[in-house]
Each structure stands twice: as structure tokens, then as C-alpha cells.
Chains A and B, each alone.
Chain A
Amino acid sequence: MNLNKKECLAMLLAGGQGARLGVLTNDVAKPAVPFGAKYRIIDFPLSNCINSGIDTIGVLTQYRPFELHQYIGNGQPWDLDRLNGGIFVLPPFMRAKSGEWYKGTANAIYQNIDFIDRYNPENVVLLSGDHIYKMDYAEMLAEHKKNHADCTIAVLDVTIEEASRFGIMELNKNGEVIAFEEKPKQPKSTKASMGIYIFTWEKLRKYLIEDENDKDSENDFGKNIIPNMLNDNQRMFGYQFEGYWKDVGTISSLWEANMDILHGTSGLNLGDDKWKIYCRNTAEPPHYVANSAVVSNSIITEGSIIYGTVKESVIFSSVTIGKGAYVEGAIIMPGAVIMDGADVRYSIVGWNAVIGKNAKIGETQPPSKAGEWKISVVGPDYKVADGQVVPANVMIGG
């Protein structure tokens, strides 16, 4: 029993493999993938939680969880080392008579009903570990309560072309959800679900149990829980979000989101002191830019050493860019070494990878159509030989 009842608790789905990120998620779960020179993807939902006043978070892990567990630790970097509440990693576990992997998003929460019941929350926020955005869940919760909703879904306007990739909703003039379709071929609206939900716990608990008993269910929120609640005419509302949000589940979207940090117009501002993004910091001295270096329109963090040219790039910690090396439009992850004379453009170089002397990685010509860069990826720890050429749109290593 826990007498310290929580008004709102967050459950963060962090178990996905992120197969579309290829070699980057061979050994780590997607939420642990580095982002924005010093962060990991999971830092965004975790920081949003603490900034929103949510101090009890269950992180559901399954795929390659070790790195993620180590990174989260006791939650101290996010101020989540609490006497009552805090952060809990929840991998699948054995029970007296059974035990199974998380079959789907709904099943993952179902298997942790006991955990949630310990805090007896009125509401549960359901989050994903693969989105880059800053959002005040407290405002969304206020809407949820004002509407006496059973479920509130965060909604973002997308273009009609993008709409087929999302769960698409139709809302009435009161903001009530009247229809929901997961990845529709012919979208009827441009209101996309951001994969951020607030449920009244009592109601969600009931639907999770019903869903588990339904042998035909895929145990998925988008495919089962939301449609079931809608069919039963539960009170479901959309919560309109305006601001930067990006699903970084693919190489090109991960690359774009990193580049968005460089451009003030994108709306992704990490430098807001009132909404800090927290992360586990490395203990490295400030970065050093040598006499021979040329650096512009880039972000660089501690421990890196720059001898070459860096343009329009995101440089993580402890990276070395050698003399005469040229780096443009690239994301260079922690500990990677770009050796002298190497040329790296429109690429992602994984952590601790080495690009040999005078090697050439990625697109060398401008794209035929604006915005159509084909990103090359060098996997973590991979060594590209001296002089080796890795063309555009290629993934190596892993």
C-alpha cells in the first residue's frame, strides 16, 4: 500500500526496437539514441515530465534495455530521485505461474497495473520514447479535467500528405473525438495523434483488462484501446498542440530534427531556461577549437577537439575532427574520430566510429531537389578505412 496518492503518473513506452534506425539501434533501444549534441531522445519526455510537475514515471523497457537502464540510473539528472515516486524501469518479468514479453503497447501497461495501483493515481499520462518536443503536460491535464474526459489525446496539425503515417482523428467543434483511424490510406482530416494520451486511470484500467481478455486484440493503444473506448462513447477529447514536435523514428527524421536545432526558424529551442532539457552530463573539459579550424552554423559540446572545417553540423562530446577534415550537414556522435583530410557530408556518424584519413562519406553534390538529402550512416564503433568512399544513402557497420 502506498498512502501517497499521486494525482498523475506517467508511463513511458521505451521498449521499441526502432528498426528503421538500422545500425544505430543494433545495440541500444531507440530512446537511448543520442540527439542534439549532448542529449538522448528519452531526455525530452523525461524533462517534459519533471518540468510539468510529474515526479513518478514508469519506463517500460524491453528491447536491448541495458544502455537505457544504465543511462536512467536513479533518475538524478532529471531530479527524479525522489523519496516518494521517482523513476522506475519496468522490463517484463516473471510471475508465479506465467511471464511473457510485452506483446503490444496496451499489454505493456496491462502487465504493470500493479505498479500503477501502488500510486493509485487519478490520471495516467502515456508517452512515447521517440519524440522530440517540449510540452507542458500540466496544461493538457487541466484540459482533461475541465472536460471531465476519460481520455485526452494530444493533437497536431499535419499536412494531408503526411497524414497517412499517423493516427488521424476527427474532432467536433467542442474538441471531442468523433472518429479515429490508425494510419489511414485516405485520411479524412489532418489532426494527427502525437502518441501522447492522458487517461482517467479507473477507466483505462477497465479497458486494459477487457482488451487482455480479447484473444483477437493486438493489444495496441492505437488499434484497440482507443477504438474500443470510442465505440463505447466514452468522453474523448483532442488537445491541440502548437509547437515543435517530431517523431525521430527514421534516419531522415532523426537527421532533420538535429538540423532543426541549428535553425531558429524551426521552433526547436533548447536554450529556454524555463524549460530546460536535462541529461546525464559527461565530465569533460570545454571543447577546443584549434588555429586551423573553421566553424560556423553548428553546435558543439564539451570534450571535443576541432582542427578541421565544421559547417551546419551537430558535434557531440569527445569528438575529434582532424586537420583538413571537412564536415558539413553531419551529426557526429560521442567519441567519433574524423581523421585528417576526411570528408563527411549529410551523414550520421555513430558513437566511437572512426572515419579514416581522406575517406569520403555521403553526398558530395547538392541534391537535385531542395530538401532531398540522402543521409549516409556509419554505425557505432565502425572503422571506415583510410581513403574509403561511402556513397550517399548508404548504411554501413553493425
Chain B
Amino acid sequence: MNSNTMSVIFASDNESHLNDLTLHRTTASLPFGGRYRLIDFVLSNLVYANITTIGIITRNNYSSLMDHIRMGRDWNLNRKNSGIAIFPPFVLNTAHDIYKGKIEALYSLRNFLEGAKEEYVVVTNSNIAFNIDFDEVEKFHHDKGADLTVLTHRTTDINPRKYVVSADKNNRITDVRFPIASDSDEQLSNLNIYYIKKDLLISLIDNAYAHGSYDFEKDILQKNLDNLYIMSYEVTGYVAVIDRIPSYFKHSMELLNMDVRNELFYKNATILTKVKDSVPTRYLDGANVHNSMIADGCVIDGTVENSILFRSVKVQKGAVIKNSIIMENGIIMENAKLNYVISDKDVIVQPTRELSGFESYPIVIVKGKIV
């Protein structure tokens, strides 16, 4: 059945600080889980709920995202009615500058929002790996009589730049603020995913834009806590918010846990991604692989432990990779040793080189570099 919900996805956000990993790309196109980009998770969840009118808002560095999404065919979003649209900045002549925040960005998408036949909209960031059923969110929204539903989750991993919320026993949000030092360990964190009636969103955006506001959380959420029913939908399953290098590393390593994999890849949605026609991975004589996740196209003749290899990584004889993430096309040459390393795409580590970071501070090798 056709869904009555559309979606707007932000390809980048103000909360994430992924430094070297997002030098050349949006958060949305950050490689994750051996063969995916972060945006695959939210996209696949939307497609699973039959939400197929999707706009992606980008700000900069979006060529990798365009290359990944193309016409959306790999998510079955190359439709005649509905489908996927990517909005680079300056796409509409109403925008005078690159937008500062979500409000301006959404304002520039007014025509897209109004032109769609759907009555509801999911506004979401793309920096979360999870597997949820948006039908349940929709049901919650209607059951609670909500004006705006905010997806939240309980976490002890507090990002000081990211809003936390408080909710009463009926799930109504009573406060939206930045975390402070005296907060308890566990907080209800805003996932930056909103479910709202389209007309209401447009009027809130129009009003905020007219007042020169640009911060959705501060200028819309915070200001309307008394006027609107703003409800918290707490996501209780596995949620991996990727907003800093340590959280990227931690959540990547969690994929080596079978329960996490089962929940993330098989719970509701099938996680779809761009098809690359890689060959199967080949293990040679010297392969010695333990507790690792290996994508297609790799050739392994060395040791790989507690690690994630993306597509087409070459591990030469005698090389030892431990506790590391090696992205696409990495070549780890003979007898090189890596421990707690995140190596971006197209990196070459030359023979006998040794690099070692720490669990709390993995070394990042920038895309295309030769060590």
C-alpha cells in the first residue's frame, strides 16, 4: 500500500565531528559496516515502511553521496511517482546563501514538500545505524494525538553539542536542552528524527524563517513545548549514533557481536546499499582470520583479528591487522602491522610499516594516503 508519509533527510548535521573521515564526504556517505554508507540505514528503514518520496538535503562535499545514491535504484526508489531527489544548496532561487540550519534548509524545500501528495513527513539526520519500523512511529504519533513526535533513545554516551530531552510519564516532552555537567549518566538523547504533519511543519518553518531563526531544536522544539503536543518516541533497540571518531570506532566494533548484527541487519528492514559487483573474497594460504567482518572482493594472505575489512581490501603475506577498520581498496603490504587504526578508502600501507593507536583514540589514515 502507498504510504501517506514522505521524508526529508539531512546528509550532514551540526552535531557530528568526524574530522578526517568527513574531509571529503558528508556524514551520510561515511562508510560503515564493511559495505554500507551511513545513509543506507535510514533509507532502508524508510523503504521498508513504504516511504518512497524522499528528499536529501546536502550542504557540501556531496559528490560521494550523489555517486552512492545515483537514481536510487539500489533502494528501489527509481519510481515514476515518488522516488528520491537530492537537493544541493542554492537549488532554489529563494535561498540567498548556503543555509545555516535546518530551518533555512527546509524553507528552501517548501516546493518539494508542498508538491508531494503525502500528508506526513519524517525529518531525519543520516548519522544513525539502526533498524526500526517507521509504521510503529506513525501509529504512536496518531495514538498519542501528537503534533510532533521526536525519536529519542537512552544513552550514557553524551555528546555535549547534542540536545537531550526530558519527558513526562505520558511521553510528552517537557524540556529540550544541552547536557550539563550535573546530569546523571544516562540521558534521553534526541535522535534528530521527527514525525510531523506536513502542513504543521511548513507553518512552523515559515514562521521561524520569517523571524530569522535557523536552529530547529532551539527555535521550534524548545519554543513550542507548551503550545504543541511534542512527544518522545523512545527507540529501545540497537541504536548507533555516529557523531565522533570514538563512537564510529565503538559502533563499528559492535558489529562483531552476532546479536548486534542480527538486530541491525535482519530485525525489520533489509539494509540495502549500492551494488558494486565485487568478486567473492579470497583466502590464500597465509590467511589467519578471527572475529572479523569481511566484505566481498578482498584478498587475504595475512592475519586479521577483531577487525572490519571493507570491499576489495588486500592483506598481503605476513601483514597483521588487529582491532582496525580498513575501508575500500586498502592495501596492507607485506609484514605491515596495524593496531587500532581506521584507514579510509584507497590507503596503502607499505611493507613493514607499523601503526598503533588506542581503543579510546584510534589512528585515522586519511583517504588516499600512502603510509
Chain A positions near chain B (C-beta within 8 angstroms) = 36-38, 76-77, 262, 270-271, 276-279, 281, 283-291, 293, 295-302, 305, 310, 314-315
Closest 7 CB pairs of A and B: A286-B34, A37-B280, A286-B295, A301-B280, A299-B280, A289-B289, A291-B291
Given contacts A283-B273, A296-B285, contact A289 B292 (CB under 8 A): yes
Q: With the chains together, A297 CA to B271 CA distance in Å?
A: 30
| A270 partner residues in chain B, CB cutoff 8 A | 279-280
Contact call B271/A299, Cβ cutoff below 8 A: no
Pair A288/B256 contact, Cβ less than 8 Å: yes
**Nearest-CB residue, chain A, relative to B266:** A285
* Given contacts A279-B277, A302-B35, A286 and B283 within 8 Å (CB-CB): no
The one of B270, B281, B284, B299 in contact with A287, judged by C-beta atoms closer than 8 angstroms, is B281
Nearest B residue to A295 by beta-carbon distance? B283
Give the chain A neighbours of B284 by CB distance below 8 A. Answer: 296-297
B271 contact set on A, CB distance < 8 A: 283, 285
Given contacts A286-B295, A301-B296, 15 further A-B contacts (CB under 8 A): A38-B280, A262-B282, A277-B277, A281-B277, A285-B255, A287-B293, A288-B294, A290-B291, A297-B283, A297-B287, A298-B282, A298-B283, A299-B279, A302-B35, A310-B283
A302 touching B285, Cβ below 8 Å: no
Give 27 A-B contacts (CB < 8 Å), ordered by A residue.
A270-B279, A271-B279, A285-B34, A285-B35, A285-B265, A286-B34, A286-B293, A286-B294, A286-B296, A286-B308, A287-B281, A287-B293, A287-B294, A289-B293, A291-B290, A291-B291, A293-B289, A295-B283, A296-B283, A296-B287, A299-B279, A300-B283, A301-B296, A302-B35, A302-B295, A305-B258, A315-B280
CB contact under 8 A between A288 and B292, given known A283-B270, A283-B271, A296-B287: yes
Measured between beta carbons, the chain B residues less than 8 angstroms from A299 are: 279-283
Give min CB distance, B360 to chain A, whole Å. Answer: 23
Q: In the bound complex, what is the Cα–Cα distance between A271 and B287 (angstroms)? A: 19
Q: Is B188 interfacial (CB-CB < 8 Å)?
A: no
CA distance A301 to B295 in the complex (A): 7
CA distance A314 to B283 in the complex (A): 10
Q: Tell me whether A36 and B265 are in contact (CB under 8 A).
A: no
Shortest Cβ distance from A303 into B: residue: B265
Among B255, B265, B294, the residue within 8 A (CB) of A289 is B294
Q: Which one of B256, B280, B292 has the greatest number of beta carbons of chain A within 10 Å? A: B280
> For the complex, what is the distance from the CA of A57 to the CA of B304, rounded to whole Å?
44
Task: Looking at the assembled complex, report how far the CB atom of B306 sits from the nearest CB atom of chain A, in whole angstroms.
Answer: 9
- Report the minimal beta-carbon distance from A50 to chain B, rounded to whole angstroms: 11
Using Cβ atoms and an 8 Å threshold, which residues of chain A touch B181? none
> Interface residues of B, CB < 8 Å — how many?
35
Given contacts A270-B279, A283-B272, are A297 and B34 in contact (CB under 8 A)?
no
Question: Would you call B33 and A302 a contact (CB within 8 A)?
Answer: no
Whether B144 is near chain A, meaning CB under 8 Å from some CB there, is no
Closest B-chain residue to A310, C-beta based? B283
Q: Chain B nearest CB: distance from A157 CB in Å?
A: 28
Distance, CA A310 to CA B255, complexed state (A): 22
Task: For the complex formed, measure the closest distance between the CB of B33 and the CB atoms of chain A, giving whole angstroms.
Answer: 6
Bound form: Cα–Cα A286–B309 in Å: 9
Q: Which of B261-317 contact A (CB under 8 A)?
A: 261, 265, 270-273, 275, 277, 279-285, 287, 289-297, 299, 308-309
Per the bound structure, the CA–CA distance linking A310 and B284 in Å amounts to: 12
- Alpha-carbon separation in the docked complex, A279 to B275 (Å): 10
A298 neighbours in B (Cβ, 8 Å): 282-283
Given contacts A285-B265, A286-B34, A286-B296, contact A300 B291 (CB under 8 A): no
For the complex, what is the distance from the CA of A76 to the CA of B289, rounded to whole Å? 35
Q: Let me know if B261 and A285 touch, CB within 8 A.
A: yes
Contacts of A288 in B (CB 8 A): 256, 258, 261, 292-294
With most chain A CB atoms within 10 A of its CB, the pick from B265, B283, B293 is B283
Q: Which of A286, A305, A314 contacts B35 (CB 8 A)?
A: A286
Q: Which residues of chain B have C-beta atoms less than 8 A from A302's C-beta?
A: 35, 295-296
What is the bound-complex CA distance between A203 and B148, given in angstroms? Answer: 72
CB <8 Å contact, B34 and A276: no
A279–B293 alpha-carbon span in the complex (Å): 22
Residue of B nearest to A305 (CB): B258
Q: Hey, what's the 0/1 contact readout for B349-371 against A, CB within 8 Å counting as 1?
A: 00000000000000000000000
**Who on chain A is nearest to B309 by CB?**
A286
Determine the distance from Cα of A305 to Cα of B280 in the docked complex, in whole angstroms: 14
A295 and B280 contact, CB distance less than 8 A: no
Contacting residues, chain B, for A289 (C-beta < 8 A): 289-294
Q: Which of A262, A276, A293, A310 contacts B290 (CB 8 A)?
A: A293
Q: How far is the CB of B220 from chain A (nearest CB, A)?
A: 36
Which of A271, A281, A286 has a CB less than 8 Å from the CB of B275? A281
Residues of chain A contacted by B291 (CB below 8 angstroms):
289-291
Report the Cα distance A295→B287, complex, angstroms: 7
Q: Which residues of A contact B296 (CB under 8 A)?
A: 38, 286, 301-302
A300:B279 contact, CB within 8 angstroms = no
Kindly state the separation between the CA atoms of A296 and B317 in the bound complex, as whole angstroms.
Answer: 13
Pick from B277, B285, B290, B293: contact of A285, CB below 8 A.
B293
Contact between A285 and B33, CB atoms less than 8 A apart: yes
- Inter-chain contacts of A291 with B (CB < 8 A): 290-291
Query: Bound complex: CA of A298 vs CA of B285, how far in Å?
Result: 9
Between A278, A288, A293, A297, the greatest number of chain B beta carbons within 10 A of the residue's beta carbon is seen for A288
Closest to A279 in B: B277
Q: Could you tell me the distance between the alpha carbons of A283 and B131 in the complex, rounded to whole angstroms?
A: 15
A37 to B294, CA, bound (A): 15
Say yes or no: A300 contacts B294, CB within 8 Å: yes
Q: Which residue on B lies nearest to A276, using beta carbons?
A: B277
The interface residues of chain A lying within 8 Å CB-to-CB of B258 are 288, 305
Give every chain A residue within 8 A of B33 (Cβ-Cβ): 285-286
Alpha-carbon separation in the docked complex, A72 to B280 (Å): 21
Residues of A within 8 A of B293 (CB): 285-289
Q: A205–B261 Cα gap in the complex (Å)?
A: 56
Chain A residue numbers with a CB within 8 Å of B277 are: 276-279, 281
List residues of chain A with CB within 8 A of the CB of B287.
295-297
